[in-house]
A and B are shown apart, each in its own frame.
Chain A
Amino acid sequence: MSRIAGSSRDVALLGFRRQWVPILSTLAASLLALYPFVATWAIVPDLAFLVLLAWRLLRPEMWQAHMALPLGLFNDLVAGLPVGQSMALWTLTFLILDIVDSRVGWRDYWLDWLFAAAAILFYTAGGWYVARQMGTVTPFAVLLPQLGLSIFAYPLVARLVVALDRWRLSR
């Protein structure tokens, strides 16, 4: 495709790509939960949340906060979480990040990572609390390896999302 859209069809295609790449990549990350591997211990980071978070921190203006509701519902259904868990926690994360955005005047790589770490901690603790209400009373320490792994996996996921973003906006 040339750098200038030649027809209205090209424009529509580019618009579609711009709008749907973030959504589809998040849904695809949710679908990774179907990977046919049986884990006896919660150790693998929740990649869907990491991808969502990376998009949100990279492009704060792209999604309104309510965008997390349908994405969360999809994640709940695919990953077998109680319906409403990701919906509530993801949307809350978005709302909190909106407040943070309006307070913090500047951002850099480390600050983004710090916010991501805080969001991951919030999300993990939320999931732990919901599981506790459902009868799975686990010491929080069991989740610490997963928490650490998620925090260190975030920059990698963010790299991937940046690459996707570059492709999404390229001509």
Chain B
Amino acid sequence: MPPPSTRRAGFSRRAQMGLFLSYVIAVGGTLFAGLLLVIAIVDPTGFNALKGVALDVTSPVSSAGRSVVRFFEGMSGSVGNYVQAGSQNAELKKRLQDARRGLIKAQATELENKRLKALLKLTGETDDPVAVTRIVGSSFASVRRLATLSAGASSGVRPGQPVRSADGLVGRVIESGRWASRVLLVADSASNVPVRLVRDGTPAIATGHGDGTIDLKTLEVGRNPFRRGDVLVTSGVGGVYPPDIPVAVVVTVEGDRTVAKPLADPSSVEYAMVLPVYQPLADVPLTETTESALRGAGQ
């Protein structure tokens, strides 16, 4: 089928001008959009007001439908559980016993921990969450892994605050509207979380890989300290994430490359806690004097 020839305006002066104008608008608009994009890249919080409004308007839709969708997501799991009830029961009993033993040990450790902390006079960090809220949606098609929370600036949620669920770290708030906010998940490659190995405290950086997994980079050279099944928790370095939030569990170790899976699966987590920034000073931009001092020190 030949394409219709309406793109050629013929001899009509008016039609020619109209077509020309349309292209001028299109090209100009593209350039303008490119400019907006550059602004968005240079200053990611620049359009927070506009995007916040869009977030506020659209999040109730996701919020309302979330429980329905969860019901159907959960149903397939329930059917499977029913079929495997016998073997699962035996396995769970065994696990419960192990867990009970572990729990007693942990209680003893906690007691000792408290005593030692009191000895060192460490100030107790505030664990009070800013808000407890629901994860209602996420980005689908974009490479950036973002989730939507149904709490915003009106409940004290600000960009920069860490978000966790009962299972572990979810991510960090990057945009906040009045009643909704957006979270950069730990699986996004722009997210870098300082972590340490629970087993021996080896420090590492957990960077998202973009496909739902996390890459672990350790500071040690030569040998890979990770083993399959190792659990990593936040170390509190950098002052944004509070220490000791579970982050990920190692799934594969291949030479220098270590892949881990986030412990908090945002697709099954319903409630999330927004926490205050661990050391509020860590999020304050450097003042000019500090910057110039640093520059002086560097020279």
Contacts and interface: CB of A to CB of B under 8 A. Distances in A.
Interface of A: 31, 33-47, 49, 60-61, 64-66, 68-69, 72, 77-85, 87-88, 91-92, 94-95, 98, 101-102, 104-108, 127-128, 130-131, 133-139, 142-143, 146
Interface in B193-210: 208-210
A103 to B, nearest CB: 10
A170 to B, nearest CB: 20
A78 B68 CA distance: 21
Given A35-B62, A77-B50, A143-B143, A130 B37 contact: yes
B209 A84 contact: no
Contact of A41 (B2, B175, B211): B211
A98 B7 contact: yes
A139 B138 contact: no
A30 B116 CA distance: 55
Contacts of A77: 50-51, 54
A134 B44 contact: yes
A61 B4 contact: yes
B282 interface: no
Contact of A135 (B3, B139, B141, B190): B190
Contacts, number: 208
Contact of B189 (A65, A84, A127, A138): A138
Contacts of B66: 36
Contacts of B141: 33, 42, 44-47, 49, 79, 127, 146
15 contacts: A37-B69, A37-B138, A38-B137, A38-B147, A40-B265, A44-B141, A64-B26, A65-B26, A69-B26, A78-B54, A88-B37, A91-B30, A102-B7, A136-B143, A142-B211
A108 B2 CA distance: 9
B37 A136 contact: no
Interface of B: 1-4, 6-7, 19, 22-23, 25-27, 29-30, 32-37, 39-41, 44, 47, 50-51, 54-55, 58-59, 61-66, 68-69, 135-148, 175, 182, 185, 187-190, 208-212, 262, 265-267, 269
Given A34-B58, A37-B69, A137-B189, A130 B41 contact: yes
B50 A88 contact: no
A164 B81 CA distance: 42
A108 B187 CA distance: 42
A16 B188 CA distance: 43
A20 to B, nearest CB: 19
Given A39-B139, A46-B140, A138-B209, A84 B37 contact: yes
Contacts of B189: 135-138
Contacts of B210: 41-42, 136, 138-139, 142
A53 to B, nearest CB: 13
A77 B49 CA distance: 11
Nearest to B262: A40
Contact of A134 (B55, B144, B212, B269): B144
Nearest to B38: A84
A78 B142 CA distance: 12
Contacts of B39: 84
**Of residues B3, B47, B59, B265, which shows the largest number of chain A Cβ atoms within 10 Å of its Cβ?**
B3
Contact of B142 (A69, A84, A127): A127
B26 A94 contact: yes
B7 A60 contact: yes
B140 A33 contact: yes
A33 B59 CA distance: 11
**Of residues A31, A88, A127, A146, which shows the largest number of chain B Cβ atoms within 10 Å of its Cβ?**
A88
A91 B143 contact: no
**Of residues A36, A42, A77, A102, which shows the largest number of chain B Cβ atoms within 10 Å of its Cβ?**
A36
A36 B265 CA distance: 15
A113 B192 CA distance: 40
Contact of B63 (A36, A79, A131): A36
